Amino acid sequence: MRGGGLWQLGQSFTRRLTQADKKAVARRCFASEADLKKTVLYDFHVANGGKMVPFAGWSMPIQYKDSIMDSTVNCRENGSLFDVSHMCGLSLKGKECIPFLEKLVVADVAGLAPGTGTLTVFTNEKGGAIDDSVITKVTNEHIYLVVNAGCRDKDLAHIEEHMKAFKSKGGDVSWHIHDERSLLALQGPLAAPVLQHLMKEDLSKIYFSDFRMLDINGVPCFLTRTGYTGEDGFEISVPSEHAVDLAKAILEKSEGKVRLTGLGARDSLRLEAGLCLYGNDMEQHITPVEAGLTWAIGKRRRAEGGFLGAEVILKQIEEGPSIRRVGLFSAGPPARSHSEIQDEKGQNIGEVTSGGFSPCLKKNIAMGYVKSGLHKAGTKVKIVVRGKPYDGSVTKMPFVPTKYYKP
């Protein structure tokens, strides 16, 4: 789901990035460090040993003093605190903000109860994914959503273009981009007990995908019980002037068990959870059906359509797509993005989109797209790494069981 350009960094997430790696990434992405935006936590990251790298136009920590392997395991055993302030939060308001948004996404937004949310996909006219996003119905006249850092410019331009057309016909919708706020993600089994120390509301009554506006550490925040790791956890939108204090309070209350965690472990965690990274596992030419996200297309939306690319997507639901996203285990070196997938006879059947060594499973995992009919768990395949085919097999995802807090 959430990443944008992480493919430029995540290919080496099982080891510390060497200086050569960092220089290569910097050359590919940006002319100089001075061009990069910084979150309000930048100095805090550096002071805590964060190794900063370019990512989607921002200088972000790839890791801290511990290894990416250790950091990944600690998230699942204890907890992690991520700075995800590079991502773009925005609010849509107005009496017709829901009908407006439903023209652009596949979710049944109207069917959401106030204070709940869902993963959805912004689609184009061909049914391809412009971006994925977690959206929340705050009220019937207020939608809060977060879009990926690497997709911010195109997403905002897309929304604005359609909003102008909608408003020109008398539609009641407006928006606010929350650049005055920062975003922290607290993930792992200690997320709820630690956060409970900083707030009055009972977190045991707030479930996965629920949203609340409430005080945390004495500051008005937006709280969503969600994340990008497969663990229980929260994303906290906090006024930027209070972000560092909140991060310090969370770490202090955890007594050292929740650690600051960078984008390297974030990538390995989301891969273990079988979650898409936009730019790798989802792109403009991949539909939600092909990506295995048919469940995100509401029942009413399947019946009525009314979103961009609906004709293509609804036909795929009825007839089946020609390719499908799958999980993969493999021998040999870890598969990487663009590694070829072959059948047992050596014929090309698809391509890996994300892959690496799983710190928690201690084995190679990957996801990619294969031809329909060859997508079933247990199907034997060959995965080509550096010109040599290695044995692999299709498997169900997630690779590591999810632990979302549900009623």
d(CA 282, CA 190): 31
Q: Which sequence spans correspond to the domains of the chain?
A: 41-87+180-271, 322-398
| Binding-site annotation: residue ranges | 235
Phi then psi for residue 271, to 5 deg, are -70, -45
Contact status, residue 361 vs residue 399, Cβ threshold 8 Å:
yes
Contact status, residue 258 vs residue 251, Cβ threshold 8 Å:
yes
| pLDDT over 90 at 52, yes or no | yes
Helix (H, G, I), strand (E, B) or coil at 154: helix
d(CA 302, CA 358): 36
Phi then psi for residue 188, to 5 deg, are 115, 170
> What's the burial of 6, exposed, middle or buried (CB within 10 Å: 0-12/13-18/19+)?
buried
**Tokens 């009825």, residue?**
318
Conformation bin of residue 278: beta by default, left when phi > 0, alpha when psi is -120 to 50: beta
What's the rounded mean pLDDT across residues 324-344? 98
| pLDDT over 50 at 30, yes or no | no
Nearest to 44 by CA among 222, 284, 245: 245
pLDDT tens-digit map of 119-162: 999 999 999 999 999 999 999 999 999 999 999 999 999 999 99
What's the rounded mean pLDDT across residues 230-247? 98
Q: What is the CATH number of domain 41-87+180-271?
A: 3.30.1360.120
**Tokens 């002071």, residue?**
47
Helix (H, G, I), strand (E, B) or coil at 205: helix
Pairing of β 323-330 and β 340-342:
unpaired
Please determine whether the domains at 41-87+180-271 and 322-398 fall in the same fold group of CATH.
Answer: no
What is the residue type of 230? Answer: G
Name the CATH topology of 322-398: Elongation Factor Tu (Ef-tu); domain 3 (2.40.30)
pLDDT tens-digit map of 371-405: 999 999 999 999 999 999 999 999 999 999 999 99
| pLDDT over 70 at 333, yes or no | yes
- Interacting residues of 191 by C-beta distance below 8 A, sequence separation 6+: 79, 231, 232, 233, 234, 258
pLDDT, residue 32, reads 67
Annotate 215-266 with DSSP letters as a single string. EETTEEEEEES--SSSSSEEEEEEEGGGHHHHHHHHHHHTTTSEEE--HHHH
Question: Which two structure tokens, joined as six digits, stand for 331?
Answer: 């021998």
Prediction pTM value? 0.93
| Binding-site annotation: residue ranges for substrate | 235
